[in-house]
Homo-oligomer: A and B are copies of this chain.
Amino acid sequence: MSSILIQGGTVVNADRAFKADVLTQDGKIVAVGTDLQAPAGTTVVDAGGQYVMPGGIDPHTHMQLPFMGTVTMDDFYTGTAAGLAGGTTSIIDFVIPNPQQPLLEAYQTWRGWAEKAAGDYSFHMAITWWDESVKRDMGTLVNEEGINSFKHFMAYKNAIMCDDETLVNSFKRCLELGAMPTVHAENGELVYLLQKQVAEMGITGPEGHPLSRPPMVEGEAANRAIAIADVLNVPIYVVHVSCIEAAEAICRARARGQRVYGEVLAGHLMIDDSIYRHPDFATAAAHVMSPPFRPKGHQEYLWRGLQSGNLHTTATDHCTFCAAQKAAGKDDFAKIPNGCGGVEERMAVVWDEGVNTGRLTPSEFVAVTSANTAKLFNLYPQKGSVSVGADADLVVWDPAGSKTLSAKTQFSKGDYNVFEGRTVKGIPSHTLSQGKLVFVQGDLRAERGAGRYLKRPAFGSN
């Protein structure tokens, strides 16, 4: 059937880069080599002077998330389509049951919502409560539904926060199942108290947001989750590591040989907390997410984590709300819906600040934008690799191409772009999903519903 030959580029994998053509057929890569011949009917893409890399995987998105009586702007279609435009061909989103809600019920709901996705997708399952049914359903999800990772919110008291008892029980269950526990690391009791204290000081605007969630609140929770994992002898993945304190907790644990992995968001790598003191409420509020952006200095430390291999993946926590939605917190920063976008921009900003500055090699870029995620969540080498047999999810990357990021020109829904005005050098010229050209030189050809659900088996099961 459909066949594409990407000619004359430099193939970049996590382990090395080399000149080669790539041939795809029926959604798979069928050849990687020099001077490949195109079968009749093959579309030829000229990748001269460009890199051919695995399509990006964003391991942390929230499409179509119902939250505080509203729903995020991007649904699974628009969100995954925006990803394709940016060179990201897969996402891992989150099923978040309400406390007491059966896990499988929530899972089915999210599966339904996701059917409209334009790119491939998978799910982490959040553990927001605990009883025997939760424990049992975790088994079903791993063994039958292909979910091998579970998320724990250590913040959001009186809502979806896990206390230590649940954390301990769920981590132990993950170990039994060969699944990866993950945590949103913030000490919820401290956030709860600090939000009250900041309010008592008369601070109601977005500048109160970072005051209520200082870095040590994250560092403590990260250290705690890691220590629990160490004692129970289970690996652990810390989502959106945003600060020195949390990154150091990971470094310390890894130095003692523990299997700890860290994710960092594109936004946390670039943006600092001065934005919360912007005089315009809409601008400041548009940046309200948790953990918040951090003081200058933290960004550089996160880059070092990616360079040293102490941090492993880049993500976005894509979760967009428009100005009207953010205005719910006009008089109380704690009521501003938390979330920012980025699924469309991640690859370009990480390349620009990472590769163009010499911090990362192209191979390291592939590692932190797709391969490591694929390995950690058991999608490799189907995803995250340019090799024979892998899915033909590819991005042809033009290191000379350039673009100014803006809400005005983005494909993602929403009226704000946290990278607004930034000009990046290095952008996708073509994106392939399942062997189809879904983005060509600025032309987005995403197809509603074309995305497939990706089952991720337990570790040790294959």
Q: A304-B256, A309-B309, A380-B15 are in contact. Are A227 and B220 (CB under 8 A)?
A: yes
Residues on the B chain within 8 Å of A305, using CB: 255
A230: interface (CB < 8 Å) = yes
Contact yes or no, A187 B227, CB < 8 A: yes
A116: interface (CB < 8 Å) = no
The count of identical subunits is: 4
A136: interface (CB < 8 Å) = no
Q: A304-B256, A307-B257 are in contact. Are A230 and B216 (CB under 8 A)?
A: yes
Q: Which of A189, A309, A375, A381 has the most CB of B within 10 A?
A: A189
Contact yes or no, A255 B304, CB < 8 A: yes
Q: A16-B381, A219-B227, A228-B190 are in contact. Are A304 and B257 (CB under 8 A)?
A: yes
Residues on the B chain within 8 Å of A445, using CB: none
Supply 6 A–B pairs (Cβ within 8 Å), ascending by A: A14-B15, A169-B193, A223-B227, A224-B224, A255-B310, A256-B304
A: number of interface residues (CB 8 Å):
48
From residue A125, how far is it (CB to closest CB) to chain B in Å? 22
- Interface residues in A231-267 (C-beta closer than 8 Å to B): 231-232, 248, 251, 254-258
Please report whether the interface of chain A is mostly helix, strand, loop or mixed according to DSSP.
helix
Chain B minimum-CB-distance residue to A165: B189
Residues on the B chain within 8 Å of A227, using CB: 187, 216-217, 219-220, 223
Query: Can you list, as one digit per residue, whether each of A171-199 has a CB less than 8 Å from chain B (1) or not (0)?
Result: 01000000000000001011001100000
- Interface residues in A1-35 (C-beta closer than 8 Å to B): 14-16
Q: A16-B380, A164-B189 are in contact. Are A231 and B255 (CB under 8 A)?
A: no
Distance in angstroms between the alpha carbons of A308 and B251 in the assembled complex: 9
Contact yes or no, A220 B216, CB < 8 A: no
Distance in angstroms between the alpha carbons of A136 and B98 in the assembled complex: 37
A112: interface (CB < 8 Å) = no
**Residue from B307, B309, B381 in contact with A15 in the complex, judged by beta carbons closer than 8 Å:** B381
A359: interface (CB < 8 Å) = yes
Q: A251-B255, A308-B255, A308-B257 are in contact. Are A220 and B228 (CB under 8 A)?
A: yes
Distance in angstroms between the alpha carbons of A303 and B220 in the assembled complex: 23
Distance in angstroms between the alpha carbons of A389 and B385 in the assembled complex: 18
